[in-house]
């Protein structure tokens, strides 16, 4: 984990997310506390539990983006789930334990990618030798020895022909002089029988394990000869060699350790499983109260069995988020409320915030549209007056209709740039200035019609 201080974490989040300083400070402290915990002695380290967070605020103000950017910043296993997709254990649907199984998958993928990057140069060397064997069929003896003895046998490759020829070919290959060539090679294909298992908790995990077991049997693997371009073959061979060089058991061990100590679960739409006070429920409440009851032990700390091994959730950080338009945080089960001690209310976005969102972040919408149309040779110039007008219209529509925050900017900009996006390839005018007059000319017909604006913007 990167040892960033809370101010550094907030500064990094500021590059992508406008405003919401209270939420940024809360998640920055939570992330820093993880680093602080690792500095403690073993006995005290086990006692320090993460302080789970609830982010409360209307849609489109940055709740999900904050959690997503935080996970990237931490380099931690991260999974985002929607609370409304789960049902109580024993009923058809996903059970809450599946979020930890997904977290385990994310952790293994993260560690595997890191390990493969660390052996990338060695894998490229081995792939180069195999490519030379394919380009120089005379070294068939070396190639067959590799099939039986694995990657380490590459050193014997090519001795059946002149070493000079092989070295000349290597030089041309490294110089990029063979990129237009094609090679024929065997590509392993899995033909695992399709299966689908319906059931309750953990049954989908059993289905995955059965598929893996069948995939390892002789009929589960087939090698098929395919003709590939040299860049495709190189990419495939590097991937194969990297997989051989990485110890799968160490990947799983490290991944499980990271998931248990650094994992982050982001539960979106948590308000959808809260029952508003006074609401009448008919029959068992399997997707509201039932899900909350199942979440309790998970958030408090329990052990979940995955195909990689058991995972303790004691030190997994849970960040929940919801708009809470209908229900309130107090409508959640009291026990669940207690397991989310930090609550942060995100502010609704003002027009000034929308202007900043359009211009300041590294991935600002104006930059995205400029890059997209730049691919067709059209230069978009966003005048400050045009940006102000787009933000003004978005704010007006958020007030008149439902407030969907910054997501309204996508809708408004798409309408403003609809014509130029359609005709970009045939436009005579290759530079287009988006000022207030242009924005009004594109949006006025829609804004004047109250009913139409509700549907289109």
pLDDT in tens, 209-235: 555 555 555 555 567 777 788 788 888
Task: Report the b/e string of 283-295 with b at 16+ CB within 10 A.
Answer: eebbbbbbbbbbb
Lowest mean pLDDT among 121-135, 144-158, 183-197, 371-385: 144-158
pLDDT greater than 90 at residue 256 = yes
- Looking from the CA of 248 toward its CB, the CA atoms found within 13 Å total 3
Whole-angstrom Cα distance, residue 284 to residue 243?
A: 48
pLDDT greater than 70 at residue 277 = no
Lowest mean pLDDT among 6-10, 74-78, 181-185, 427-431: 181-185
Whole-angstrom Cα distance, residue 281 to residue 43?
A: 46
- What percent of the chain clears pLDDT 70, i.e. is strictly above it? 79
What pLDDT is recorded for position 138?
61
Long-range contacts of 209-218 (CB under 8 A, 24+ apart): 209/307, 212/307, 215/190
What pLDDT is recorded for position 384?
92
Please give the mean pLDDT across all residues of the chain.
80
Residue-range domains of the chain with CATH:
6-114+252-345 (3.40.50.300), 120-245 (no CATH), 351-445 (1.10.8.60)
Closest CA to 373 of 327, 416, 435, 326: 416
Whole-angstrom Cα distance, residue 345 to residue 21?
A: 10
The first and second tokens of residue 376, run together, are 């067709």
Question: Is 313:304 a contact under the CB 8 Å cutoff?
Answer: yes
Question: Is 93:287 a contact under the CB 8 Å cutoff?
Answer: yes
pLDDT greater than 70 at residue 274 = yes
Lowest mean pLDDT among 39-43, 149-153, 247-251, 432-436: 149-153
pLDDT classification of 93: cutoffs 50, 70, 90: low
- Looking from the CA of 113 toward its CB, the CA atoms found within 13 Å total 9
| pTM higher than 0.85 | no
Residue bearing tokens 């030379």? 132
Closest CA to 324 of 91, 58, 123, 128: 58
Whole-angstrom Cα distance, residue 6 to residue 4?
A: 7
pLDDT classification of 158: cutoffs 50, 70, 90: very low
What pLDDT is recorded for position 102?
92
What pLDDT is recorded for position 454?
56
Instruction: Estimate the share of the chain in helix, then strand, then coil, as percent rounded to the nearest 5.
Output: 55, 15, 30
What pLDDT is recorded for position 157?
43
- For residue range 329-388, what is the model confidence (pLDDT) as tens digits? 888 888 888 889 999 988 888 899 999 999 988 889 999 999 999 998 889 899 999 999
pLDDT greater than 50 at residue 441 = yes
* Of 252 and 272, more confident: 252
Closest CA to 304 of 455, 123, 168, 103: 103
The values of phi and psi at residue 277, to 5°, are -60, 135
Reported as type and span, the H/E element at residue 305 is strand 303-306
| Region of residue 54 (phi > 0: left; psi between -120 and 50: alpha; otherwise: beta) | beta
Give me the helix-helix angle, 351-359 and 384-400, nearest 10°. Answer: 130
- For residue range 393-402, what is the model confidence (pLDDT) as tens digits? 999 888 888 8
* Of 284 and 313, more confident: 313
Whole-angstrom Cα distance, residue 247 to residue 403?
A: 50
Question: Is 120:238 a contact under the CB 8 Å cutoff?
Answer: yes
* Of 163 and 307, more confident: 307
- For residue range 188-214, what is the model confidence (pLDDT) as tens digits? 765 544 444 444 444 555 555 555 555
């Amino acid at each position: 984990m990167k040892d960033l201080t809370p101010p550094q974490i907030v500064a990094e989040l500021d590059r992508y997310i406008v405003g919401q300083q209270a939420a940024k400070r809360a998640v920055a402290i939570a992330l820093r506390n993880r680093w602080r915990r690792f500095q403690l002695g073993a006995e005290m380290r086990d006692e320090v539990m993460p302080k789970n967070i609830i982010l409360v605020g209307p849609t489109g103000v940055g709740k999900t983006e904050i959690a997503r950017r935080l996970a990237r910043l931490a380099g931690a296993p991260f999974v985002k789930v929607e609370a409304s997709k789960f049902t109580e254990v024993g009923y058809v649907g996903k059970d809450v334990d599946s979020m930890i199984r997904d977290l385990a998958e994310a952790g293994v993928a993260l560690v595997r990618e890191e390990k493969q990057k660390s052996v990338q140069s060695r894998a490229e060397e081995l792939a180069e030798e195999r490519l030379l064997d394919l380009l120089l069929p005379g070294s068939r003896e070396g190639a067959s020895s590799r099939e039986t003895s694995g990657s380490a046998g590459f050193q014997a490759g090519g001795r059946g022909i002149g070493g000079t020829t092989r070295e000349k070919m290597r030089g041309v290959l490294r110089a990029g002089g063979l990129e237009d060539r094609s090679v024929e090679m065997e590509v392993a294909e899995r033909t695992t029988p399709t299966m689908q298992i319906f059931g309750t908790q953990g049954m989908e995990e059993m289905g995955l394990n059965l598929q893996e077991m069948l995939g390892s049997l002789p009929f589960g693997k087939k090698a098929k000869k395919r003709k590939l371009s040299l860049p495709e073959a190189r990419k495939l061979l590097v991937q194969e060699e990297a997989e051989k060089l990485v110890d799968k058991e160490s990947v799983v061990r490290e991944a499980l350790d990271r998931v248990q100590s650094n994992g982050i679960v982001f539960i979106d739409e948590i308000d959808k499983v809260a029952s508003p006070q006074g609401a009448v429920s008919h029959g068992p409440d399997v997707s509201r109260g039932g899900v909350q009851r199942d979440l309790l032990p998970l958030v408090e700390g329990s052990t979940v069995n995955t195909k990689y091994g058991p995972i303790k959730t004691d030190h997994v950080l849970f960040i929940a988020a919801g708009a809470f338009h209908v229900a309130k945080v107090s409508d959640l089960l009291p026990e669940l409320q207690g397991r989310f001690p930090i609550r942060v209310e995100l502010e609704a976005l003002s027009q000034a915030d929308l202007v900043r969102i359009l211009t300041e972040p590294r991935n600002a919408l104006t930059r995205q549209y400029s890059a997209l149309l730049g691919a067709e040779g059209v230069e978009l110039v966003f005048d400050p007056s045009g940006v102000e007008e787009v933000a003004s219209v978005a704010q007006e529509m958020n007030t008149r209709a439902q407030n969907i925050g910054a997501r309204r900017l996508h809708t408004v900009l798409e309408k403003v740039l609809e014509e130029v996006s359609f005709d970009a390839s045939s436009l005579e005018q290759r530079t287009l200035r988006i000022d207030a007059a242009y924005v009004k000319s594109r949006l006025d017909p829609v804004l004047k019609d109250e009913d139409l604006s509700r549907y289109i913007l």
